[in-house]
Amino acid sequence: MGGIAVYPGSFDPLTNGHLDIIKRALPLFEKVIIAVATNSRKASLFSSEERIGLMKEVFHGWEKIEIDTFEGLTVDYCRTRGSKVILRGLRAVTDFDYEYAISLMNKKLAPEIETYFLMADHANSFISSSIVKEVARHGKAVLDQVPDVVNLALLRKYQDS
């Protein structure tokens, strides 16, 4: 395949499900840009800077990974970065309905950009950032759902609040 793939999301926080999609996409593309969406209407646990910092720790030394942030439409961001591919992960049928609708709108807005879907590995199909945050909020480790540095950041964040 080659080229540049953009993997957009809030990544609040980055989970092992996200990590799995990224690892499996790397052999398919020359570069994968993890694009952290900043949405002023959505309350995030971690600031954009914190999310990017955690990702830089997780992906330190991964040459084909770039971490960036953006606001606005994903297709506009893809155009500015020269990407013809939006990468998305699917966990279940409920994800498909939502993601399919977005991919149709993106295709209408930018016919030259394709959306590639990767199915979550069965071991990660139940992981969601919302569930991870809820468990961590109650002081429980989520080591098998997030990278170690993210688990520590979650526990610290909730201890401080």
Tell me which residues are annotated as active site.
18, 42, 91, 129
Q: In one letter, which amino acid is 97?
A: D
Residue 27 CA to residue 14 CA, distance in Å, equals 20
Residue 60 CA to residue 41 CA, distance in Å, equals 30
Of 130, 161, 135, residue with least CA distance to 9? 130
Residues with Cβ within 8 Å of 23's Cβ and at least 6 positions away in sequence, in order, are: none
The kind and range of the H/E element at 158 are helix 148-160
Three-class secondary structure of residue 15 per DSSP: coil
Cβ neighbours, 10 Å, residue 29: 20
Cβ neighbours, 10 Å, residue 122: 8
